[in-house]
Amino acid sequence: MASAFKIFMAVFSVFLITHNGCAGTRTIWTFEGDLNSDDDGQDDGGDDEMSGDDVVHGNWGSWEKWSSCVKNCGGIETRTRLRYCINPPPEHGGRPCEGYGYEKEQCPLKARSPSTLTSGRIVGGRVTHIRDWPWQVGLKLPHGGGIFCGGSLLNQEWVLTAAHCVKDLALRRRKNEMCVDPVSTRRLQVVLGESDLKKVEGHEISSGVSKLCIHQKYNERTMDFDIALLHLNKPVNYSDAVSPICMPSSSWNSSNTSQCYVTGWGQIREAGPTSDKLRVAQVPIIEHNECKKMYQGKSLTRRMLCAGYKQGRIDSCQGDSGGPLACWENGAFVLAGAVSWGFGCAQRNQPGVYANIPYFQSWIDLAMRNG
């Protein structure tokens, strides 16, 4: 006769926590009974038979304290808390606890929303702080010289910038090759958490680059496909001054966006000096066909978008190239563009032109996967 039937219960809970595009799972298995039993599931009327009084249904214990806030992309912070099915745990075939043992919520927003940011200008404009734009990075050469281009932190290992900023560091790159080996990037440094180039605040990070990926169709003459990715030597640790920007959703539409900002250490006026302090300017996106009329005689493709003012005066400038055009979407900043080109700086009817990041989402994913 088969041995007495023994109760087996498995409770499987998967908590999927998404942070900066990375996902992890935690699996909890609870077993009661003998996994090696040869029981055929038939009750032989033995001593193991239970009465209804033995059944105990599970009930949740108290919630634990909230975790510390963790900064996610776009300046949003979240926190989590857990509870366990132990008050009491289910026994003898009792029902497991209903609902979830995990909660996640947004922390009170510390990053300043667009409504609290006054319009400034990088050309002659307003100083800001890296904590408001913690995805901003600077590119520099290790032996002399300051920041020559900007970029955006996408996650702990990848930075997005403009192809024209780094094309000369990829001289060994073969035609149609997406990424080059570290030999050609040995002179490039990425600076993160930097606000004032002449002041050390303790949250600055400098990283080397292990891989350089330039869009295979980048055209130096037309500035089309002006996008590149840098793979950092090692993952960076996030802080108030270093965290990634969100990528725009598939439904993101520039025509529905009014709160966009460009940041950088570029020239504060055309042909003038660069800034030692990070600056910010609010620049509205200009409809594509309208921008094409302003740039008659210049090829303006769908890989580009325009932002700025018809009257000029406020714009990005030399030294800001590759830096972020960050737009407010659903409570977070998303990367809409990367500073690419323009005629002069802050001139009338000559708005800044940016690499249109939503267009390149598939290429970005492929480069990060294969790079």
Give the best-scoring range by mean pLDDT among 186-190, 290-294, 313-317.
Answer: 290-294
Whether 226 sits among the annotated catalytic residues: the reply is yes
pLDDT (mean) for 303-312: 82
- Of the chain, the percentage scoring pLDDT greater than 90 comes to 36
Among the listed residues 195, 254, 316, 321, the single catalytic one is 321
pLDDT at 35 over 50: no
Contact 211, 160 (CB under 8 A): no
pLDDT for 55-80, tens place per residue? 999 999 999 998 887 767 877 777 88
Q: What is the DSSP-derived secondary structure letter of residue 133?
A: S
Give the best-scoring range by mean pLDDT among 49-53, 210-214, 272-276, 347-351.
Answer: 210-214
Say which residues have a Cβ less than 8 Å from residue 199's Cβ, sequence separation at least 6.
none
pLDDT score for 68 = 80
pLDDT (mean) for 291-319: 77
pLDDT (mean) for 234-241: 91
pLDDT for 153-186, tens place per residue? 999 999 999 999 998 887 666 777 888 875 566 6
Question: pTM for this one?
Answer: 0.70
Among the listed residues 164, 215, 315, 340, the single catalytic one is 164
Confidence of residue 361 (pLDDT cuts 50, 70, 90): very high
Confidence of residue 267 (pLDDT cuts 50, 70, 90): low
Whether 143 sits among the annotated catalytic residues: the reply is no
Selection from 307, 345, 339 nearest residue 137 by Cα: 339
Terminal C-alpha separation, the chain: 61
Q: 334: buried, middle or exposed (CB in 10 Å: 19+, 13-18, 0-12)?
A: buried
Among the listed residues 226, 315, 320, 340, the single catalytic one is 226
116/195 Cα distance (integer angstroms): 19
Whether 164 sits among the annotated catalytic residues: the reply is yes
Bigger pLDDT: 262 vs 175:
262
Confidence of residue 341 (pLDDT cuts 50, 70, 90): confident
Domain range summary for the chain, segments of one domain joined by +: 59-106, 117-370
pLDDT for 78-135, tens place per residue? 788 889 999 999 898 889 898 888 787 877 655 444 443 333 334 445 788 898 899 9
Mean pLDDT (the chain, rounded) = 76
pLDDT score for 23 = 31
With tokens 């700025």, the residue in question is 308
pLDDT score for 153 = 97
Q: CATH number of the domain at 59-106, please?
A: 2.20.100.10
Confidence of residue 255 (pLDDT cuts 50, 70, 90): confident
pLDDT score for 56 = 92
Q: Check if CATH label 2.40.10.10 holds for domain 117-370.
A: yes
The DSSP secondary structure of 311-354, one letter per residue, reads T-S----TT-TT-EEEEEETTEEEEEEEEEE-SSSS-TT--EEE
